Structure 1
Amino acid sequence: MSDDPSATLPAVDRMRAYWDIVAPLMGGTSAMRAVGKVLLPQYPAEQDDTYKERLALSTLLPVYAETVSNMTSRVFAEPLQLGEDVPDDIKTLCGDIDLAGNDLNSWSVELFRNGLSHGLCHALIDYQPTQDAEGNPLYKTRAEEIKAGVRPYAVIVKPDQVLGWRFTAGKLTQFRYMESVEVPDGEFGTASVQQIRVLEPGSWRTYRKPDKGGAWELHERGATSLSYIPLVTFYTGRTGALTAKPSLLELAYLNVKHWQSQSDQDNLLHVARVPLLFVFTDDDQFKLVISSGSATRMPKDGSAEYVEHTGAAIEAGRQSLQDLIDEMRMAGAKLLQRDKQQVKTAAQANEEAAQELSPLARMAGQFADCLAQLLQILADYRGLPDGGHVEMRGNFDSDFAPEVSLPSLISMASAGKISDETLYSEMQRRGVISDELDWAVEKDRIEMQGPALGTL
């Protein structure tokens, strides 16, 4: 038993072990250097100063972060579309969904990116205060609230903010997370204060530590008009209720391996580029002088020569790094590989055959469902029956490099196996030709300009 609101559940601790790997990868070289020996072990006989120098010179190939960014960009290749069933009031709220000037589409990019990188991410629909410090209502009716601009808004709760939760009979009855809030500091300054927010059906509480330290103390509390916690969780690697494993974790391990191997390779190159001078003599009094304006007199039968690295290990290390890059490319591309996914209902099964969806396409569909849940929470706050739905129109084509497939398409068009219009549309789909151009108009232009040079 614990009355400490900052206590974390074992399930959170298990997920944090994953996030200790993916979070630095998302942060780039500086974040990887900051965690030091956690992801770049020190050699048994390596001196501390030598390790610090090696760490300071290590650089990250940001494959994990770029893969997450690229896959997110594919999901939002076209702006999400609010359905016709979304009420006008909810559409207005979506124009500034977070009270920071971001519309639903822009705000959703960050939610999806965090969900993809960490395995899950949470979104909360919060509400501006409607009570004063003593708990007295500030407005008499909902109409007064709306007129005053008081409204619900969306907040992203990142995975590493979460401390714990509680389910009762399968229903979420408590959710705790850490947040940072800005408070006035003097006449002109502001200070960042850490506080814990505890959400329960119909109510919320915040806890802060006194300025002099000590245990967490209740700071504020209030009520909501909802009978449930207005929280929605987006999963990309769900393992249970509010738990997940990053869907690209194997890519993360490979990226860390590349970070370590790259550090070894750079260190090897540093050593190999400096030739070592060996002097062979039995004369203990011999002193070596190296200068462009002097000569060294060697004892009888003595000799001196430079010893250099053969380079074999360097080439092996270079090839190993290249192999790792290829493995990472394959691991990241798995999100675009299509597999058989049966239709969801019996009625659909009677009408449709099994459809092929890539993991990324399924994530986009699940994300649209999460956004629909958020719209429903907005509707519940506004007293509306239905919040509507959202449609995602991403690009889930596995053609990473258009230069690979375009020659084949051009050859097929030249051989008459596909039409010029199909070739044109495939060019547009790969981003080679602007989407603003129209085939019918372009075809008329081609006919007007006559045959190309060198043709009859």
Structure 2
Amino acid sequence: MAETTSTPPNNTSSDYDAMLPYWTMIDDIMGGAKTMRAAKERYLPRFEKEDREEYEERVKTAPWTPLYSDAFRNLASKPFNKELALDENAHDDLKTLSENIDAAGNHIHVFARKVFEAGINNAIDWIWIGHTDVPEGASVATRKALKARPYWTRIPAKRMLAVYEDVVEGEVLIVHARFDESIKRRVGFGEETIERVRVLDRERIETVENGVTKVGYGQPTYQLWERKEVKGRRSASWAVIEEGRISIDVIPLVPFVVGDREVGSFEIRPPLRDLAYMQITEFQMESDRKRVQTMTAFPVSVFRGVEAPDDGEKVMLAPRAAFFFPPAGEGGQLGDFKFAEPSGAAGTMLREDLTEFRREMREAGMQPLTKFSGSLTATEVMVNDAKAHSAVEMWALALKDALEQAFVITCKWLGLSEKDHPNVKVNTDFAIGAQTAEEMGLILQMYEKGLISADQVIDEALRRNIIGPDYDRDEDLKRIIEQITERLEDEQAAMPPGDQSDDEEEDQTDAA
């Protein structure tokens, strides 16, 4: 059994280290008030000369408004207003797999949505295409008996410790990857965490032909490392508990990248990075506003010409309370009492600044949470909405590409041709919110003038999400016919016996 005590397999790459602070910040933001307050000085710096007790109280009551998460969820939901699915011509085995793509009961639509959401937040998410363990050289019958099948697993960005690529004959290949595969194990009535790391690797092979060095890579292999506590050692040792070859010719990992990626690395600029930083600023502004409000919201009792009570005796301030001041001595000053109310100018200014900053956040997040008025014209709103619309379309197309790459690897596991990989249908047809009402008005005018059919009107309403995705056209047509029939029957039943149409009288005459 191979062991190491030098560089452990859970060592992270420089790309990972560069991205980790941002991932941690996003986890805190998505965790809401609890995690943001728990982070304390990471997001709410302590003021100079602010004692620990005051600081703890300020952090504990710091307000939180989840503008980032609201904007994120709105954007992340757009490609999934319609069900993600494979095209009709997809191989039957792939269609079957798509119904339970992760071997845990999740349809590919559900799985893809989780990948998409994580990708928007972290700029990258990973799909691991694994396969049920089977004996080497197992027959088809044995595989069926073992219910062997490919399955997909999401590897979150924070679990993907290191990934390295190389270009071979113009094709980018993943040649090494390590990801955290720790598990929890029950021990009696408790549990323990077993730290594990899966290592995927391809050996670099250099050959010389006619004086030219060519680079290639061998068959992919895997190792599963486990952390072992060793008595007498300060640090734990890592040992390989499982290893072998991967039977397909690639490392079965596919990245879903959202954002601008540095060439030759996995350091990526997240698409919502600026909005995330704005959320931190908004949190600090809210905390400052609350602190100023607390300091200025209550009047201060002021006694003039009166000595302070002995031994810290409290002065009762309440309705019907009375104060008696002794007469002033020769040349003395008469006693006085009043309430001094601090100016609220600072609180007003902070409130206005916060309102404006939130407006900017909503605009940046493409998700207005409340109606607001300002300098934006209707045209500017439509342009901004269209930009967000096109950005989400770009992310949806990146998701489509990642899913189709994952199906290419799935075909390798199933022994199918790469040409058998299906076309994945991802919704990229999003309505532009600010234009929806105006456009539908024009569409209805075209219908009234006989330029388009009722079916086309329904198609346009579905495309703009005016009608829900569960709308069944055939079922709705049946209901319309039933309603018309019932209305005609009710009208005929309400007519007097002698008030029949000429057609009905002719029908009765013919019958006689």
State the TM bucket, normalised to the shorter chain.
0.7 to 0.9
Letter in 1 for 2:223: R
- Deviation of 1:378 (Å): 0.9
Work out whether 1:304 is the aligned partner of 2:337.
yes
Please state whether the residue corresponding to 2:193 is helix, strand or coil. Answer: strand
- Deviation of 1:89 (Å): 0.8
**Aligned ranges 1:357-372 → 2 under 5 Å:** 358-372=390-404
- Deviation of 1:337 (Å): 4.6
TM-score, normalised to structure 2, is 0.74
> Structure 1 pair 243/289, CA: closer, same or farther in 2 (3 Å)?
closer
* Percent identity over paired residues: 25
Q: Residue 281 of structure 2 corresponds to which residue in structure 1? A: 257
> Structure 1 pair 33/146, CA: closer, same or farther in 2 (3 Å)?
farther
Letter in 1 for 2:359: D
Work out whether 1:67 is the aligned partner of 2:71.
yes
Work out whether 1:199 is the aligned partner of 2:200.
yes
> Structure 1 pair 101/267, CA: closer, same or farther in 2 (3 Å)?
same
Structure 2: 5+ residue runs without aligned partners?
A: 1-5, 203-219, 329-333, 368-382, 489-512
Q: Matches of 2:436 and 2:138 in 1, distance apart?
A: 64
Q: Which shows bigger deviation, 359-368 or 63-72?
A: 63-72
- Deviation of 1:15 (Å): 1.0
- Deviation of 1:412 (Å): 6.2
> Structure 1 pair 267/446, CA: closer, same or farther in 2 (3 Å)?
farther
> Structure 1 pair 443/324, CA: closer, same or farther in 2 (3 Å)?
farther
Name the Cα RMSD after superposition.
3.2
Letter in 1 for 2:53: D
Q: Residue 155 of structure 1 corresponds to which residue in structure 2? A: 153
Q: Matches of 1:153 and 1:210 in 2, distance apart?
A: 29
Q: Matches of 1:426 and 1:443 in 2, distance apart?
A: 19
> Structure 1 pair 157/238, CA: closer, same or farther in 2 (3 Å)?
farther
Letter in 1 for 2:272: L
Q: Matches of 2:80 and 2:285 in 1, distance apart?
A: 34
Q: Residue 272 of structure 2 corresponds to which residue in structure 1? A: 248
Letter in 1 for 2:182: S
Q: Which shows bigger deviation, 380-389 or 169-178?
A: 169-178
Q: Matches of 2:345 and 2:305 in 1, distance apart?
A: 30
Work out whether 1:387 is the aligned partner of 2:418.
no
Structure 1: 5+ residue runs without aligned partners?
A: 132-136, 340-355, 451-456
Q: 1:320 aligns with which of 337, 342, 353?
A: 353
Q: Matches of 1:148 and 1:174 in 2, distance apart?
A: 30
Q: 2:36 aligns with which of 32, 46, 51?
A: 32
Letter in 1 for 2:250: Y
Work out whether 1:81 is the aligned partner of 2:85.
yes
> Structure 1 pair 390/437, CA: closer, same or farther in 2 (3 Å)?
closer
Q: Matches of 2:395 and 2:29 in 1, distance apart?
A: 22
Contact 1:336 1:398 in 2 (8 A): no
- Deviation of 1:142 (Å): 4.1
Contact 1:369 1:389 in 2 (8 A): no
Q: Matches of 1:311 and 1:10 in 2, distance apart?
A: 50
Please state whether the residue corresponding to 2:240 is helix, strand or coil. Answer: strand
Contact 1:61 1:259 in 2 (8 A): yes
Q: 1:218 aligns with which of 234, 240, 243?
A: 240
Q: 1:176 aligns with which of 165, 175, 178?
A: 178
TM-score, normalised to structure 1, is 0.82
Q: Residue 58 of structure 1 corresponds to which residue in structure 2? A: 62
> Structure 1 pair 146/308, CA: closer, same or farther in 2 (3 Å)?
farther
Please state whether the residue corresponding to 1:216 is helix, strand or coil. Answer: strand
Once the two structures are superposed, what CA deviation does each residue of 1:370-418 show, in whole Å capped at 9, x if it has no partner? Answer: 1001111111001000221201124522316xxx863x5687689x587
> Structure 1 pair 192/411, CA: closer, same or farther in 2 (3 Å)?
same
- Deviation of 1:144 (Å): 1.6
Q: Matches of 2:463 and 2:442 in 1, distance apart?
A: 17
